Structure 1
Amino acid sequence: MMSKGITTTLLHADRSGNIEHGAVHKPMHTAVAYRYGDVNDLVAVFQGTQSGYSYSRQGTPTTAALEHKITLLERGRGTVSFGSGMAAQAALFSTLLRAGDHLVSSQFIFGNTNSLLGTLQDLGVQVTMVDATDAANIAAAVQENTRMVFVETIANPGTQVADLAGIGRLCRERGLLYVVDNTVSTPYLFNPADVGAGLVMNSLSKYICGHGNALGGALTDVGGFDWSDYPNIAEVYRKGDPANWGLMQLRKKGLRDMGGSLASETAHRIAVGAETLALRMERACHNALTVAQFLEGHPSVARVHYPGVASHPQHARATELFGVRDASGGHAARYGALMSVELQPGLDCLAFLNALEIVILSTHLGDSRTLALPAAHTIYYEMGPQKRAQMGIADSLVRLSVGIEDTDDLLTDLAQGLARLTR
């Protein structure tokens, strides 16, 4: 069988199985219930000894088609999809951790994830947050009861790049479940399987969907963890191949019991959006690097946080980790499309944002359009100044999620916005 690139693989993934009437896309299956001609088949599906669908809360043929694509993207064993990225994270922590367990997390994480970890502590799970740009900090935080390590590849919004390979080696040595949120880098630029991750999280709402028109999340088992030794797998799911136990518990507990299900209509929209992931990421990464270099040289800008600029503390690491390979196996670095900018002291970041004409003021990221917001005033406001300082979020920090517009138009808009501040 010929080896195929990522776009070809995604475009033709649905045709790997039979599709009714020769359609090139899997159709939307909106039924809630599924009929069986033999009750023994129904029983087997319920008990997990036979593949099939019992009730749409646990998945449909349409969500399964999307999960197949995500599994291909992450080079994994299987995927469970959820109604949002936060639903995926809630399922991850609540179904695989128990009261008395210990979680080590990067301190550079999405604001809502930070809030969720606070809820987890209220439920009896110990959480230690450290600077994950050095695996030694993770190692120092590990305790007897540590079960899981959680990091983002490129942090939102500060763009710190975790010591992904070093943490992977540590987790293998200690037998810890290593979970990597791959949302900002996307599986186009990076596969956490390459650094020993056990589970990979993706917010499908962002770059994978790409058009700001659907919420979704996914957890993919990429084969880097031995579930047979994990004490938190319920006895009822300890049957068959242990490699399937983690996803089985996530699907049963996270979807069946907690109801964080992804609707078929939404799954279909995300699956179609995913087909152009590579095309969109190439353009967005090009735009982001150009914008970052322009802003870094502007007198009104104090600092640019973007892994693609040489001043970034983890620039060398990002160059090694993130990018695409050509047909000859060569590596071309790409640094993602998310950045943050600090203006010079005395300049009003809110006035700057209000002066922009093309850039959209919005809380989302990973859209095909360029979006911006004042991070400290909005998505990180609730955590307070002390926590923001720990995460490196200055009061003047502007987060930019760079889209696929014409590059010169973005530069012109940013230039005129900054010019208004200096007048």
Structure 2
Amino acid sequence: MRQKTKMVHGGITGDEKTGAVSVPIYQVSTYKQPEAGKHTGYEYSRTGNPTRHALETVIAELENGKAGFAFGSGMAAITSVMMLFQPGDHIIITDDVYGGSYRLITKVLTKFNLNYTFINTAELAEIEAAIQPETKAIFIETPTNPLLKITDIEAVAQLANKQGLHLIVDNTFATPYFQNPIDFGANIVIHSATKYIGGHSDVVAGLVVVDSEELAEQLHFIQNSVGAVLGPQDAWLLMRGIKTLGIRMEAIDTNARQIAEFLADHNQVITVYYPGLETHQGHQLANKQANGFGGMISFDVGSEANADRVLAKVKYFTLAESLGAVESLISIPAKMTHASIPRERRLELGIADGLIRISVGIEDIADLLEDLNQALS
């Protein structure tokens, strides 16, 4: 099956007993057992739930992996993946990373003696130089949040494999419709499913896909032990979102390309970060490893005051955290998604006070362009 068909017909579909076309919401905590210590596939919903299992099956198929896991949030997913490692282990991480991931790694995981190094993973030589005897994994975002830098997944996977390291890819921005990191050698793929996979600003969730039975067994043990699982209602909402993910991403990608070109030509915009622009440093690589450029655009208007004025004037771009919804969203990373990163570090990375990040939705492109034009005037 091709990807859009797989989104509708992949995994577990319907219900054999009733003929229901949609997978039922199994709002249940425990299951009747025929004998003590023997069950019919499910015993307790923290360990396994039919609705969650259906979601985990389809995301594994979409990412071409061995097994999928659904968590209560994207951060719960990342935390659970990091619990695969031991005290004293070292992780190499993309420097331009989501603020929540930065906070988790620098403020929480260090308490458990998990060490880290932030580097520009778009430069393979920097990754090689950062590898230590204690290094166990490389964690990358591509495209990154919020500067949309592109890392060569295949090249990093080859390096990781040579060094005996796990490659973890946060694929939230690209989605499984546009990019499949396991096909390029990644071992673990993470999604904040709150974003594009859910797609309607109505669910908080995280998804993980692994490429081996060994990792599947380890992660299931962690998921069951920690209990950071997704509820059946939210699992059902994600499955509904997945069915339209392909057509939503196509519409979003089409809108975003036109908006990026408009911003690149606007005299009030200093810099535009969007891999779909030929001037973007990672354009060719993004074109090689993904089937689309997505709907995330960041652009610098020169100052915090200018950014505030733009946000105050837009009509169709909703000022809000998060991204990936059918409605267009707008934010200032320095004040919102990346506020947990110290200002000195933000500026060092290029996350300026005048940087605006937009998540392009599926509205009429003419309305979005007119809105941005009047706000920038």
In which range does the TM-score fall when normalised by the shorter chain? over 0.9
Q: Given the alignment of the two structures, is residue 162 of structure 1 paired with residue 169 of structure 2, yes or no?
A: no
Q: Given the alignment of the two structures, is residue 8 of structure 1 paired with residue 5 of structure 2, yes or no?
A: yes
1:134 to 123, 141, 144: 123
Which residue of 2 is the match for residue 250 of structure 1? 219
Q: Number of aligned pairs?
A: 376
Which residue of 2 is the match for residue 39 of structure 1? 36
2:306 to 319, 343, 348: 348
1:345 Cα shift? 5.4
Which residue of 1 is the match for residue 96 of structure 2? 108
2:350 to 392, 397, 410: 392
Structure 1 stretches of 5 or more lacking a match?
43-50, 223-242, 324-333
CA distance in 2, matches of 1:40, 1:352: 62
SS of residue in 1 equivalent to 2:148: coil
1:143-292 equivalences in 2 (<5 Å): 143-222=132-211, 243-253=212-222, 255-292=223-260
Further displaced range: 115-124 or 22-31: 115-124
CA distance in 2, matches of 1:79, 1:184: 18
Conserved in 2, the CA contact under 8 Å of 1:304 and 1:342?
A: yes
Which residue of 2 is the match for residue 233 of structure 1? none
1:16 Cα shift? 5.5
Deviations 1:175-217 (A, max 9, x none): 1111111100011111001221011111111111111111111
SS of residue in 2 equivalent to 1:316: helix
SS of residue in 2 equivalent to 1:31: coil
CA distance in 2, matches of 1:74, 1:372: 28
Structure 1 vs Structure 2: percent identity of aligned residues? Answer: 34
1:321-332 equivalences in 2 (<5 Å): 321-323=289-291
For 2:319, give the aligned amino acid: L
RMSD: 1.5
Conserved in 2, the CA contact under 8 Å of 1:376 and 1:395?
A: yes
Which residue of 2 is the match for residue 297 of structure 1? 265
CA distance in 2, matches of 1:68, 1:55: 18
Q: Given the alignment of the two structures, is residue 86 of structure 1 paired with residue 55 of structure 2, yes or no?
A: no
Deviations 1:21-70 (A, max 9, x none): 1111110101101111123524xxxxxxxx82221112300000001110
1:248 Cα shift? 2.1
SS of residue in 2 equivalent to 1:400: strand
Which residue of 2 is the match for residue 99 of structure 1? 87
CA distance in 2, matches of 1:314, 1:169: 19
1:360 to 318, 325, 334: 318
Conserved in 2, the CA contact under 8 Å of 1:14 and 1:26?
A: no
Q: Which protein has the larger Cα radius of gyration, Structure 1 or Structure 2?
A: 1
SS of residue in 1 equivalent to 2:18: helix
For 1:399, give the aligned amino acid: R
CA distance in 1, matches of 2:16, 2:131: 48
Cα–Cα, structure 1 residues 244 and 55, in superposed 2: closer, same or farther, change >3 Å?
same
Which residue of 2 is the match for residue 65 of structure 1? 54
1:244 Cα shift? 2.1
For 1:65, give the aligned amino acid: A
TM-score (norm: length of structure 2): 0.96
1:17 Cα shift? 7.4
Structure 2 stretches of 5 or more lacking a match?
none
For 1:338, give the aligned amino acid: M
CA distance in 2, matches of 1:221, 1:381: 31
Conserved in 1, the CA contact under 8 Å of 2:13 and 2:21?
A: no
Which residue of 2 is the match for residue 236 of structure 1? none
